[in-house]
Amino acid sequence: MTVHTPTPLHKPSEAPEQVVFDRSELGVILALYGKMVAAGEWRDYGMSFLKDRAVFSIFRRTAENPLYRIEKHPKLRNRQGMYVVIGMDGQIIKRGHTLKSTLQVLERKLIRAVK
């Protein structure tokens, strides 16, 4: 009698099929998002999980282009940092190694919006 063992979908050493935000990263992003919604600055968001990056897009209105994109690029971890905030025009606003330090640029916009 032969026993069939299932083969894993991918080897542990292989790169994952898509990049995602983990639970702690989403917690940090959604905490900022909630503050900005309460301040009346943001109204909607969307998430995309691609092969090379994860993207959290922030909208003022659903039908518009995103105001900001928060992206995670794991391949840039050892270079410029894997987190980046990109503006509406596609310009990089801030890049960093930690998500919290990278999102500080948007926290400052919250402080200005409240004043």
Helix (H, G, I), strand (E, B) or coil at 1: coil
Q: Kindly list the averaged pLDDT for each block of 10 residues, start to end, along the chain of length 115.
A: 55 67 92 90 89 91 83 86 90 91 82 56
d(CA 43, CA 66): 11
> Hey, what are 8's tokens?
């894993």
Q: What is the pLDDT of residue 19?
A: 87
d(CA 91, CA 112): 21
Q: What is the pLDDT of residue 108?
A: 76
Q: What is the pLDDT of residue 77?
A: 82
21-43 in b/e burial notation, b at 16+ Cβ within 10 A?
A: beeebbebbeebbebbeeeebbe
Q: Where are the domains of the chain?
A: 23-114
